């Protein structure tokens, strides 16, 4: 017991008590039973040992602190050097580079391409799920590099040149030609001021030049501008086309990318997003002229997978933080987690998180197994739903902390600001729902593949059976009204989530999901579960540590 200086005793006002400890020094993987189970059943059980080590590394207090540091020390753009020469470099805090080294060292940027094997995309998705819980900003360069590979493979000579450098697990942040580095990262640039999602309105021009092209124009969002190359869209003589634009030209000079400013963003602040102008920038064609959208969609589809994974990860972290805090916080003579209404709220959040985890790992398996028809439909549907639910989960989880959760020293404000991003990145909610309609209209096999998947749960719960029976005619109807796209997409995702939980989750979780989400009257507000739900068991399953007693 420390001795109190009598001279200071008169100024003592209080002791700090009943303040829960920070959630640190724990294994993010093994503490998440839902993730462990989903990783195994979707074909990546072989990665459990590696994911356990990775989860333990990420859960260390010093690793968690890197995320806070990267968000307190934001990227800085240097357009010129002190002599007035163009520099066009972005300076990141060392914490950012440490996090990037962790991501690349784990192979999250390329492992399914470097070591293709059954379950490779599932294992990578599980690893990304863990990484995002520490700092979501490093997901962007990790994702774009991973997603660039299938697009590059449409131009074999480019894939042969770039893939060996992409596969490297050595993070090299130096600003120099790719051939002189130990590893490279790839990003993308499509969005322009006047068009946004409508890429056909791109005005950037691509002029043929001795087997390559020279680009003049701009991009309104150009993320991670210190990457080594970018997939960009521009108008070539044959129409909108896709190009690979390196940071340095083949003759060893800096390419004509003129960074104008960094975006002052709501969230994702540790990651630099810029505006750029292309001044005769050198680039090479990927695919055919006029096929730019089809070419870059190979990249977009893999990016959408990660958007869904990232949102599910944010939900998990928000729920884990809320359960941890309320388990250690005493109110009215007992743990806050045991207050009936709080238990109901936390259980509802846990159900949402478990459903999202099951969905994104099942989606990753569809990428692994080449389930093209199913993937075509459920990628935009799951991306739509998980990215929409993440902000709601973050807000409700933050409220469980009270005022402590509203302070920047807590992780919750960062999660709250981060949560809306994935619903915008690679297509807003409306774009995703329209893509669902297109998949059903253009690929009838998609509806069949989904119904075959849902049939695996037949007989497991009458409420789910009824929901699927009501959904089937809507899937089969060719004439679907655009105004109903969101409702249909929601019904699709709830059916798929319900089927996965009925088949694989504990009865308490599956019953609560079907009773609340599928049995009518659900408003989407948390803490409104019907009576009879085993809320305590659900919270205990989702707890990242032993509930305090």
Specify whether the backbone of 459 is left (phi greater than 0), alpha (psi in -120 to 50) or beta: left
Is residue 187, in this structure, part of any structural domain at all?
Answer: yes
Which candidate, 279, 274, 294, 190, places its Cα nearest to that of 234? Answer: 190
Give 393's contacts (C-beta < 8 A, 6+ positions apart): 314, 315, 318, 319, 349, 352, 353, 419, 526
Residue after which a domain boundary falls, among 290, 313, 334: 290
Q: Could you tell me if 66 and 149 lie in one domain?
A: yes
The three-state secondary structure class of 288 is coil
Q: Please, what's the b/e burial string for 47-67 (b: 16 or more CB within 10 A of its CB; e: otherwise)?
A: bbebbeebbbbbbeeebbebb
Residue after which a domain boundary falls, among 239, 257, 290: 290
Residue after which a domain boundary falls, among 248, 268, 290: 290
Q: Could you tell me if 132 and 274 lie in one domain?
A: yes
Give 450's contacts (C-beta < 8 A, 6+ positions apart): 374, 377, 378, 475, 492, 496
Q: Could you tell me if 314 and 171 lie in one domain?
A: no
Q: Could you tell me if 246 and 339 lie in one domain?
A: no
Rounded CA gap, 145 and 139, in Å? Answer: 10
Q: Could you tell me if 345 and 267 lie in one domain?
A: no
Q: Which tokens belong to 195?
A: 């068009």
Q: Which tokens belong to 263?
A: 């975006």
* Structural domain that includes position 424: 294-542
CATH of the domain at 515: 1.20.140.10
Q: Could you tell me if 231 and 185 lie in one domain?
A: yes
CB distance 349 to 320 below 8 Å = no
CB distance 147 to 108 below 8 Å = no
CATH of the domain at 116: 2.40.110.20
- What tens-digit pLDDT sequence spans the chain (549 residues)? 556 676 676 778 888 888 899 999 999 999 999 999 999 999 999 999 999 999 999 999 999 999 999 999 999 999 999 999 999 999 999 999 999 999 999 999 999 999 999 999 999 999 999 999 999 999 999 999 999 999 999 999 999 999 999 999 999 999 999 999 999 999 999 999 987 788 888 999 999 999 999 999 999 999 899 999 999 999 999 999 999 999 999 999 999 999 999 999 999 999 999 999 999 999 999 999 999 999 999 899 999 999 999 999 999 999 999 999 999 999 999 999 999 999 999 999 999 999 999 999 999 999 999 999 999 999 999 999 999 999 999 999 999 999 999 999 999 999 999 999 999 988 999 999 999 999 999 988 999 999 999 999 999 999 999 999 999 999 988 667 899 999 999 999 999 999 999 999 999 999 999 999 999 888 999 999 999 999 999 999 999 986 543
Residue with tokens 């968690």: 64
The pairing of strands 239-246 and 186-189 is: unpaired
Is residue 12, in this structure, part of any structural domain at all?
Answer: no
**Structural domains in the chain (count):** 2
Q: Could you tell me if 217 and 250 lie in one domain?
A: yes
Question: In degrees rounded to 5, what are phi and psi of residue 241?
Answer: -135, 165
347, containing H or E segment: helix 340-368
Rounded CA gap, 289 and 291, in Å? Answer: 5
């Amino acid at each position: 017991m420390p001795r109190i200086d009598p001279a200071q005793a008169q100024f003592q006002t209080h002791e700090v008590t009943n303040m829960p400890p920070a959630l640190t020094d724990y294994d993010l993987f093994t503490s998440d039973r839902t993730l462990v189970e989903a990783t195994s059943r979707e074909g990546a059980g072989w990665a459990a040992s590696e994911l356990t080590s990775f989860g333990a590394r990420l859960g260390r207090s010093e690793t968690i602190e890197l995320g806070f540091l990267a968000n307190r020390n934001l990227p800085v753009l240097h357009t010129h050097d002190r002599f007035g020469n163009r520099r066009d470099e972005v300076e990141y805090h060392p914490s950012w580079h440490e996090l990037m080294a962790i991501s690349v060292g784990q192979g999250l940027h390329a492992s399914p391409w470097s070591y293709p094997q059954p379950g490779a995309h599932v294992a990578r998705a599980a690893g990304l799920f863990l990484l995002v819980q520490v700092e979501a900003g490093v997901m962007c360069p990790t994702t774009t590099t991973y997603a660039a590979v299938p697009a590059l493979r449409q131009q074999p000579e480019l894939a042969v040149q770039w893939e060996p450098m992409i596969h490297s697990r050595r993070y090299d942040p130096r600003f120099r030609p790719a051939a002189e580095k130990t590893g490279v990262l790839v990003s993308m640039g499509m969005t322009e001021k006047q068009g946004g999602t409508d890429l056909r309105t791109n005005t950037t021009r691509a002029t043929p030049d001795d087997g390559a092209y020279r680009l003049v124009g701009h991009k309104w969002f150009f993320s991670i501008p210190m990457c080594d190359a970018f997939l960009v869209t521009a108008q070539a003589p044959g129409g909108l086309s896709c190009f690979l634009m390196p940071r340095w030209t083949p003759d060893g000079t800096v390419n004509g990318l003129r960074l104008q400013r960094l975006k002052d963003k709501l969230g994702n602040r540790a990651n630099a997003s810029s505006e750029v102008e292309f001044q005769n920038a050198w680039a090479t064609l990927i695919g055919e002229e006029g096929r730019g959208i089809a070419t870059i969609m190979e990249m977009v589809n893999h990016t959408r997978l990660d958007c869904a994974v990232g949102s599910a990860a944010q939900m998990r972290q928000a729920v884990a933080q809320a359960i941890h805090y309320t388990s250690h916080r005493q109110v009215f003579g007992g743990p806050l987690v045991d207050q009936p209404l709080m238990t109901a709220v936390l259980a509802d959040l846990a159900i949402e998180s478990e459903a999202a985890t099951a969905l994104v790992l099942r989606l990753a398996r569809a990428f692994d197994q080449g389930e093209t028809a199913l993937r075509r439909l459920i990628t935009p549907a799951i991306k739509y739903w998980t990215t929409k639910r993440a902000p709601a989960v973050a807000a409700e989880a933050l409220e469980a902390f009270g005022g402590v959760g509203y302070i920047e020293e807590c992780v919750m404000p960062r999660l709250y600001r981060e949560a809306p991003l994935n619903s915008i990145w690679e297509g807003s909610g409306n774009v995703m729902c329209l893509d669902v309609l297109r998949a059903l209209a253009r690929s009838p096999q998609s509806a069949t593949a989904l119904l075959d998947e849902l049939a695996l749960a037949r007989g497991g719960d009458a409420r789910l059976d009824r929901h699927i029976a009501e959904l089937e005619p809507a899937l089969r109807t060719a004439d679907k009204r655009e105004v109903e796209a969101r409702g249909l997409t929601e019904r699709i995702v709830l059916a798929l989530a319900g089927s996965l939980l009925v088949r694989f989750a504990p009865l308490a979780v599956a019953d609560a999901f079907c009773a609340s989400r599928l049995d009518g009257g659900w408003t989407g507000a948390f803490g409104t579960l019907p009576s009879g739900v085993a809320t305590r068991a659900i919270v205990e399953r989702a707890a990242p540590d032993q509930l305090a007693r």
